[in-house]
């Protein structure tokens, strides 16, 4: 994979690990830190430039940084999101970020391009020293 696009951002959210016997079972919040690494075998056009000079737009990768009222995860109560529900562990959120980010990137591809060469690695820090990684 010749190209790796890498970007990092944070979002602040609240959650409750339903059924957890301990402090995580109570309403609390985190400043989540996200690193997304997207690899590609070739360059493509994007929504903003029609020449094949990009892996993807950074803007597309950073969707989750947006406020929850604009479709992101910032200032959300994560348990309210239908795709997460009561299972808002770092593991579940990382898998969700993986699925949803790849879906959004593939939405921007030209017709006939299935993006089969794209690979995404998600790293999600719930605290400064605890991270979950998800990739396929
Ligand atoms: Zn927590």
Determine the pLDDT at residue 136: 86
Determine the pLDDT at residue 85: 81
74: which 2 tokens?
A: 């910032």
Determine the pLDDT at residue 30: 98
The annotated binding site for Zn(2+) is made up of 15, 28, 30
Could you tell me which of 126, 128, 125 has the C-alpha nearest to residue 35? 125
Give yes or no: 75 in active site. Answer: yes
Give yes or no: 111 in active site. Answer: no
How buried is residue 130: exposed, middle or buried, by Cβ count under 10 Å (0-12/13-18/19+)? exposed
Q: Which homologous superfamily is 3-135 in?
A: 6-pyruvoyl tetrahydropterin synthase/QueD (3.30.479.10)
Per-residue pLDDT 10s for the chain (136 aa) are 799 999 999 999 999 999 999 999 999 999 999 999 999 999 999 878 899 999 999 999 999 999 999 999 999 999 999 988 889 999 999 999 999 999 999 999 999 999 999 999 999 999 999 999 999 8
Give yes or no: 24 in active site. Answer: yes
Could you tell me which of 25, 32, 38, 30 has the C-alpha nearest to residue 14? 30
Determine the pLDDT at residue 46: 85
CA distance to 25, 43, 99, per residue, from 4 (Å): 37, 11, 18
């Amino acid at each position: 994979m010749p190209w790796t696009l890498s970007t990092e951002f944070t979002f602040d959210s609240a959650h409750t690990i339903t059924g957890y016997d301990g402090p995580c079972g109570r309403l609390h919040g985190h400043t989540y830190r996200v690193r997304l690494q997207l690899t590609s075998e070739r360059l493509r056009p994007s929504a903003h430039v029609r020449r094949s000079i990009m892996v993807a737009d950074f803007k597309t990768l950073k969707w989750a940084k947006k406020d929850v009222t604009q479709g992101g995860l910032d200032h959300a109560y994560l348990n309210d999101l239908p795709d997460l529900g009561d299972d808002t562990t770092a593991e579940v959120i990382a898998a969700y970020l993986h699925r949803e980010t790849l879906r959004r990137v593939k939405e921007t591809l030209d017709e006939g391009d299935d993006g089969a060469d794209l690979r995404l690695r998600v790293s999600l820090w719930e605290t400064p020293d605890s991270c979950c990684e998800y990739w396929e």
